[in-house]
Amino acid sequence: MISPRCLTVFSFLFLALSLPAVAQKSSPAKSIVRVNATLQDYNFIRPWEKGAPVSRRGLGALLEGNRVLVTAEMCANSTFLELEHPSSGARGTARIVGSIDYEANLAVLELVDKDSKALEGLQPLALDESVVPGDTLEVWQVEDNGDGVSTDVAVLRVDVGRYFIPDSVFLLYQIKGSLQARSNSFTLPVVKNGKLAGMLLSYSSKEQTANVLPAPIIHAFLSDLADGKYEGFPNLGVSIAPTLDETFRKFTGIEDQKGGVFISKVVKGGSADTAGIREGDVLLSISGKPIDSRGNYDDPKRGKLSFSHLVRGGAKVGDTVSAELIRDGKPLSLEVRLTRKNPQDFLIDPYMFDRGPKFLIFGGLIFQELTLPYLESWGDEWTNRAPFNLVYSAADPEKYEKEGRKKLVFLSTVLKTPSTLGYESLSSIIVTKVNGRAIRDIRDLAAALSTPPPDNALHTIEFESYPKVIFVEDRLSRMVDQQLIQYGIGQLMRLD
């Protein structure tokens, strides 16, 4: 079943914390930094514009080396970042170190001016990765006056779940406890024995429960970042179905096995695909850890945990894991070299930050590459409100991938100009060819439109659906483009 991917808006604020590893006893006021961010999102409907800047205040955790750990969400599409001393209030401009990982929802900041006093006298936090269900942790906050506050919370369970990007899941701690909103937000450092155990992501005041982004993921992120070449968390690239159904187990020939999950989908070009895992296989174990019929393995410390943690919980891109499978009733062992598919590697980018949507304006025709954020700009109900042909192509892109397309180029809207007379009402149509050339991405389109066809200087633009084909004049379109610039459209294209 194709389920609509929804970007749930967290009803909580995010703070980042940091805790470094030092022998002295740390305390909230000594290891937390305020983070002031100014964010400015790109406008996906009018891609030459950016939206209104918004300010956001949060907390970061100080790490070794005067670096401050924050959630990626705190810095998404940031235009200005600032660190602020919790008690003195000294401020310093900050910048992102290395890469942001939006999937793992983590980023590290450092001061631009090393002489700034924003971190003066603060002590770094070390990481504690030993958390198990039943532990008591402290959530750290800072009052307006700079005093630290610590609240005890209990770890209910350890599981995997989503952080920030809808289809991306990682290890999570679920905690329970009563927290108060203080001056900033609810993204707070969570501490065990004076060491950073994780960062609080979201808090439900009704349930009094919260999710914590745990130290093992922070650790993996930091060590990836350390070598200066950030590669990100690997992905197996499969969808699974449980095998609790006894009839189905018999049918698949795994009734004598202990567990196993059915591989219902294999992402083209992903780790599993490259390793030779096929749809219809049953996955029995990864790295020697047996997987039960729900898709969990037995973690010695944490209890039952989704097998995805075996891939995303610390393994690195380039690592190899072993997989035991059943195919057509017979056992099969494969070595899977773990890779990562970046958002740009998908036909439809699942998310896009810190760069604008790619587009091209030609005589008032506005072309774009389709991305999920474009569809999500229709709001929470985007699967019902966005143009259905685009929603469906995003949900089922295989047909277009098979055609050899790298991106889906579509006519998003038409500005009324002398060149687009009669075409004003067209919108949301997928482009197939321009002047006879197949359009696989926006660069193809730019190239196809760059020179007027010699015979009549008319560009022929073909679409997948209504109106199938339109024609525009080369010279008139270019004149119109110049006028559009005069009217204030800052740029006619963004191809990178």
Partner 1 sequence: MIVPRLPVSAASLVLAFLLCTSIRLDAQQGTTPVAPSASAVTESELTELASADAAQTDISEIEFDAIVRVEVDTKQPNYRVPWNIGGMGSGNGTGFLIGKNRFLTNAHVVSDARLIYLKAVNQPQPYKARVLFVAHDCDLAMVELESEDDFEQAFKGIRPLHLGDVPKLNTTVVAVGYPVGGERISVTRGIVSRIDFRGYSHSAVDNHLAIQVDAAINPGNSGGPVLQNNQVVGVAFQGYSGDVAQNVGYMIPVPVIQRFLKDVEDRQYDYYVDLATSFLNMLNPAQRRAFNLPNDGSGVMVVHADAAGSAGGILKTRDVILSIDGHPIASDGFIEIDGERVDLNEVIERKFSGDTVAIEIWRDGRRQEVSVTLKRFIPYLIQAMQYDKQPNFVLFAGLQFQPLDRNVMGAHGITDLRTRYFYGFYSEDEIYRERPQVIVLTDVLPDSTNTHLQGYKHMVVDTINGKKIRLLQDVYDAFYGDFHEEGKEAYHVVRMIGENRPLVLMRKDAKTAHERIDSQYNVGFDHFIEQPEILQLKNLLQPNDAKAKETDAIKEGVKEAHENPSTPAGNAATDSPSEKKPILSR
- Pattern 131-160, binding to partner 1, x per CB under 8 A? ------------------------------
Residue at token pair 């070449």: 229
Local structure of 189: helix, strand or coil: strand
Query: 38 near 143, Cβ under 8 Å?
Result: no
* In the complex, least distance from residue 383 CB atom to partner 1, rounded to whole angstroms: 7
Amino acid making up residue 367? F
Pairing of strands 169-176, 148-162: antiparallel
Phi-psi region of 488 (alpha: psi -120 to 50; beta: other; left: phi over 0): left
> Rule CB under 8 A: is residue 241 a binding residue for partner 1?
yes
- Pull the structure tokens for residue 204: 């439900």
Strand ranges for 255-393 from DSSP E: 261-266, 282-286, 289-290, 296-299, 303-306, 320-327, 330-337, 359-362, 365-369
Q: Name which of residues 356 to 385 contact partner 1 (CB under 8 A).
A: 383-384
> Rule CB under 8 A: is residue 473 a binding residue for partner 1?
yes
> Rule CB under 8 A: is residue 403 a binding residue for partner 1?
no
> Rule CB under 8 A: is residue 456 a binding residue for partner 1?
yes
* In the complex, least distance from residue 264 CB atom to partner 1, rounded to whole angstroms: 5
> Rule CB under 8 A: is residue 31 a binding residue for partner 1?
no
- Pattern 158-197, binding to partner 1, x per CB under 8 A? ----------------------------------------
What is the full DSSP assignment across 118-179? TTTT--PPPB-----TT-EEEEEEE-TTS-EEEEEEEEEEEEEEE-SSTT-EEEEEEEE---
- Pull the structure tokens for residue 301: 């410390």
Q: Which of 267, 395, 415, 492 binds partner 1 (CB under 8 A)?
A: 395
By beta-carbon proximity to partner 1, the closer residue of 148 and 387 is 387
* In the complex, least distance from residue 241 CB atom to partner 1, rounded to whole angstroms: 4
Choices 111-119, 122-130, 142-150, 454-462; region in contact with partner 1 by CB under 8 A? 454-462
Measured torsion, CA atoms of residues 56, 61, 63, 66, in degrees rounded to the nearest 10:
50
Local structure of 452: helix, strand or coil: coil
Q: How far is it, in rounded angstroms, from Cα 128 to Cα 155?
A: 14
Q: Which of 134, 228, 300, 422 binds partner 1 (CB under 8 A)?
A: 422
> Rule CB under 8 A: is residue 391 a binding residue for partner 1?
yes
Q: How many residues bind partner 1 (CB under 8 A)?
A: 43
Backbone angles phi, psi at 75, to 5 degrees: -115, 15
> Rule CB under 8 A: is residue 415 a binding residue for partner 1?
no
> Rule CB under 8 A: is residue 264 a binding residue for partner 1?
yes
> Rule CB under 8 A: is residue 421 a binding residue for partner 1?
yes
Q: Which of 10, 230, 248, 378 binds partner 1 (CB under 8 A)?
A: 248
By beta-carbon proximity to partner 1, the closer residue of 62 and 261 is 261
Q: How far is it, in rounded angstroms, from Cα 261 to Cα 210?
A: 29
By beta-carbon proximity to partner 1, the closer residue of 54 and 457 is 457
Site residues (vs partner 1, CB under 8 A): 1-2, 4, 241-242, 244-245, 247-248, 250-251, 262-265, 279-280, 383-384, 388, 391-392, 395-396, 419-423, 425, 456, 458, 460, 465-473, 476
